[in-house]
């Protein structure tokens, strides 16, 4: 029984770490840029294919391929904001209308990115084997890639949290999240920072995709479930609260691991029930105000 419990805990923490990394990026886009990006999971998908192709074509370790993923996803995210969301913001009468228009635009982006992915990489599921050797911890056996994925996710999430807390850019991002108008009066180029912030969120999605590719198959249609999971975590941890996303991701991973043992087909249902419960009981989230 103890081994089974350890299996569940480690499996939950592994997935929770990846969920947290992905959710932090969407929380940044929604909490700061005010874009509820429903195509966020498609950027996770692109990251997954980067990891897959770098490994299968060039035998590049997926962790090392993060170095390729970061600038690629940053440029992609910046361009998407520049040519889609920035013009919508400029033409919107107020922030509420911008939020509504951006959701509709991001829904359209889902189909565009999926179609391009199918044309570029085909519609079949793709996978590769990376560090699949078994590792025994306290009597429980795990694949080494899952432990590496957990470590990479947590390290990247903590590094990003520190970046937001101590760097000038991080402080500026937090400033426009709290009050964009006041931040603008203080000399911060809000419009430019919106683009960079959206791009950083895209980078986090891509890195989560690369890490996911070490454990699970990737496909052109894999993205939407990760969008849903990221939204649940944002609600769970609190809008705009990065630490809340980290805690919420780990908690959701643990809950998912438990449900997976009981009834695998109900994992997403359990996430949705949790989402509704948080909205009804504490809509500001665990660490929200």
Residues 89-127, buried b or exposed e (16+ Cβ, 10 A)?
A: beeeeeeeebeebbeebbeebbeebbeebeeebeeeebe
pLDDT at residue 3 in the model: 46
Contact 122, 53 (CB under 8 A): no
Domain coordinates in residue numbering, the chain: 2-281
CB count within 10 Å of CB 279 equals 12
Residue 218's SS3 state is strand
Residue 135's SS3 state is strand
pLDDT-derived band at 9, boundaries 50, 70, 90: confident
pLDDT at residue 10 in the model: 81
pLDDT-derived band at 177, boundaries 50, 70, 90: confident
Q: What is the pTM of this model?
A: 0.91
pLDDT at residue 227 in the model: 93
Share of the chain above pLDDT 90, in %: 38
Q: Across residues 197-206, what is the average pLDDT? A: 94
Say how far apart CA 155 and CA 72 lie, in whole Å.
Answer: 20
Q: Across residues 50-79, what is the average pLDDT? A: 94
Dihedral sign of CA atoms 93, 94, 99, 102 in order: positive
Distances (CA, A) of 99 to 33, 87, 94: 10, 13, 9
Q: Across residues 267-279, what is the average pLDDT? A: 83
pLDDT at residue 289 in the model: 53
Q: What is the DSSP letter of 266?
A: G
Nearest residue to 9 (alpha-carbon basis) of 213, 255, 198: 255
CB count within 10 Å of CB 53 equals 19
pLDDT at residue 1 in the model: 42
Tell me the pLDDT tens digit for each residue of 108-157: 999 999 999 999 998 889 998 888 787 776 666 777 888 888 888 888 88
Say how far apart CA 221 and CA 176 lie, in whole Å.
Answer: 34
Tell me the pLDDT tens digit for each residue of 225-237: 899 899 988 888 8
């Amino acid at each position: 029984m103890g081994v089974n419990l350890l299996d569940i805990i480690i499996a939950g923490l592994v997935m929770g770490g990846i969920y947290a990394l992905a959710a932090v990026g969407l929380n940044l886009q929604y909490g700061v840029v005010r874009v509820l990006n429903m195509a966020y999971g498609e950027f996770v998908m692109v990251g997954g294919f980067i990891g897959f192709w770098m490994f299968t074509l060039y035998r590049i370790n997926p962790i090392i391929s993060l170095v390729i993923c970061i600038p690629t996803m940053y440029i992609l995210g910046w361009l998407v904001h520049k040519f889609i969301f920035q013009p919508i913001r400029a033409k919107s009468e107020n922030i509420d209308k911008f939020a509504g228009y951006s959701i509709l635009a991001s829904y359209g982006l889902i189909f565009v990115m999926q179609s391009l992915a199918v044309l570029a990489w085909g519609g079949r599921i793709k996978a590769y084997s990376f560090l699949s050797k078994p590792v025994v911890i306290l009597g429980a056996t795990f694949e080494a890639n899952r432990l590496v994925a957990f470590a990479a996710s947590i390290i990247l999430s903590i590094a990003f949290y520190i970046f937001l807390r101590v760097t000038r850019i991080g402080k500026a991002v937090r400033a426009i999240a709290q009050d964009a108008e006041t931040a603008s009066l203080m000399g911060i180029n809000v419009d430019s920072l919106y683009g960079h912030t959206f791009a950083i969120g895209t980078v986090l999605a891509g890195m989560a995709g690369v890490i996911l590719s070490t454990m699970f198959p990737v496909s052109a249609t894999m993205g939407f479930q990760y969008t849903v999971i990221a939204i649940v975590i944002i609600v769970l941890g609190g809008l705009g609260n990065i630490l809340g996303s980290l805690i919420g991701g780990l908690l959701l991973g643990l809950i998912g691991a438990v449900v997976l043992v009981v009834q695998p087909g109900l994992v997403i249902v359990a996430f949705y029930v949790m989402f509704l419960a948080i909205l009804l009981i504490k809509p500001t989230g665990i660490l929200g105000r």
